[in-house]
Structure 1
Amino acid sequence: MARRLIPSLNRVLVEKIVPPSKTSAGILLPEKTSKLNSGKVVAVGPGTRDRDGKLIPVTVKEGDTVLLPEYGGMEVKLGEKEYHLIREDDILGTLHD
């Protein structure tokens, strides 16, 4: 049975995007090649509430590609995959093609 994690409040579950270490032709790429700390949103929490109790929903959605800070969040392992649980406030932005 596979587990599914649904984040609480304004937390977001992100799978980090790992840049390839070699090209399709087999050429090894150096580690310094434009490494962007990005990830794909896997699940989002319902949001947080303001002082009046009104729900403030999370602005990112499942499938979005987001820019992450270098440090922060919590590593979570579900099955064989590793994810990062991070507050929406810590996400730096969304990436678009």
Structure 2
Amino acid sequence: MVKIGYTMMTEQAGPRELVDHVVGAERAGFDFSVTSDHYFPWLESQGHSSYAWSVLGAAAQATERIPLMTYVTCPTTRYHPAVVAQKAATLQLLSEGR
């Protein structure tokens, strides 16, 4: 079965706008939402690159059914595997299993 997702692009919108977008995506019937987990650029002319996991936590509180995830979160060079596990477990609790 085909599933259609919505991407919260942290490089193209600020964190509040991204949460508003995912609320709209849920209302529109999207099957899931992902976000890019990049920390650059942080230049006004190029976008915001807000912290993906904070945006996901806020999105979990603002939505009810849409599953939330990152495209890629590197558990080897950027983040320690235990930190990635903590992020994922926290989001699991905030989103009530989504």
TM-score clears 0.5: no
Structure with the largest fraction of helix: 2
TM-score (norm 2): 0.25
Please say which structure displays the higher CA radius of gyration. 1
TM-score, normalised with respect to structure 1: 0.26
Task: Specify which structure has the higher proportion of strand.
Answer: 1
